[in-house]
A and B are shown apart, each in its own frame.
Chain A
Amino acid sequence: MDVEERDEHSGHLTTGHEWNGIKELNTPVPRAVYFFLSLAFLFSVGYWILMPAWPFGVSYTKGLLGIDQQKVVAESLQQAAVARSGWVKKIETEDFATILSDPVLMKIVRETGRPLFGSNCAVCHGTDAKGGKGFPNLTTPSWQWGGGPENIANTIRVGINSAHPDAHSSQMPAFGREGMLNRPDIERIVDFVYSLSNPESKDLNPEGVKAGKDLFAANCAACHGENAKGNPEVGAPNLADKFWIYGGDRRTIYTTVWGGRQGHMPTWEGRLSYIDRKILTLYLVDKRQPDQ
């Protein structure tokens, strides 16, 4: 049964075995296989001698080069910190006005701030910082908790309605749901508030605006101010400008007055370093300058 045959095409002998018509040639293993196998093995032996490689007992061979990945990481982090220390020191110690007027430092703020904002803030405020419904546009002059660099830095540090002990507390009451105002009164307030940012609008209801003004003074002015221009001390937004967090159409204003608003922004103290938070502050101040 085991008869070796010569394959006409290759000229090699078969092994003489046959399975369901399949035969195998007895072709010698090409030299290249042994060559590359030896090469790979020799490389591996060399690598084992130089690097941490084989375990024995509770330890392992450390390798002649004495390389340890934990140490490599620690050292490169340290070197990177040293390389950055020049400008980092300046941003840490100099005040906002000085940094804002230093073009070299502001170039660093822009190129470092963009990815920092992208990785930490963009998920709510958008990569362009223009926000969305429920998330304020950060490129406008209108700031709920104050737009000065110190205000922004503090807001980033403590957050809004967050777990931070000094967190900004933003609690607009649910005037409708809690029974403080009835529906017709809320509608009058909506008429008034809507008229503030749309004084030229044709669908204003003059009676509602007039009645709403009194209701506003009695119920809303304590936080938003007599002129409805807001109060950054308590985080009450300006209602007389074009900028809205939740929307400035009548329906949304009604929803806001009826159900109240308690927005949330996390505290970044403990998550981002002081330097990173200061860079983000400067980045935002810089970003809205063209608007002012």
Chain B
Amino acid sequence: MLNALTLTVSLAALALAAWCGFAAYRDQPTKDWHFAGMAVVTVLALAQLVVGVVRLAQGDEADEGTAIFVAYLLGALFALPAAGFMSLVERSRWGSATVAAGAVVLAVLEVRLHDIWWEG
């Protein structure tokens, strides 16, 4: 369950990065549809956080300790809302570029989460 979510969030984040990167390339600010996309990916990250915490509560353990695992889950949850808020303040292509960078950061966080939580 957690592995599937990690993979889903990674792919969704990369798609969002490409989408917002394209908007930046075309000199456009983020629009309603971009925010809908950010919302979808953020809901996935929230689901990942909930599943991760439930698994910890059930007695499972992450490779590098609970603190690091939860820190990465929280970072993954807040990456896009923070970048999205900044793109609301910066209504230009650079706001779109910021969201694209935020989505890339999220994808990197997912790779790290995969490193510390992988049941083969």
Instruction: Tell whether A and B belong to one assembly.
Output: no
A residues sitting closer than 8 Å to B (CB atoms) are: none
Task: Mark B residues whose CB is within 8 Å of A.
Answer: none
